[in-house]
Amino acid sequence: MASIEDKVIEIIAKESGLERAKISAGSTLKDLEIASLDFVQIMFAIEEEFKIYLPTNDPRAETGTVASLVAEIERQIAAKSA
């Protein structure tokens, strides 16, 4: 089974049109120069995939890394199964 990180990178690649190889755990969506509406679609696709809601009240979301996004997903999945 693909790890959460793999899946998140796959979603970012699909929604932004970037090559997978260019995206790593340390990349921020800002570094990847992802347009604002692509960013929204990425957030939405992640929410659909993992059946969660990402926090939207953080204006720094776009400067967070893929790793921090993965950490948030893991936290929410753990909270749900607890």
The CB-of-45 to other proteins minimum distance in angstroms stands at 9
The two three-digit tokens of residue 49, written as one number: 């995939």
State which residue, 31 or 47, has the beta carbon closest to other proteins: 47
The H-or-E segment that residue 39 falls in is helix 36-50
State which residue, 3 or 51, has the beta carbon closest to other proteins: 51
- CA nearest 62: which of 17, 19, 16? 16
Binding footprint of other proteins on the chain (CB under 8 A): 36-37, 39-41, 43-44, 47-48, 53, 56-57, 59
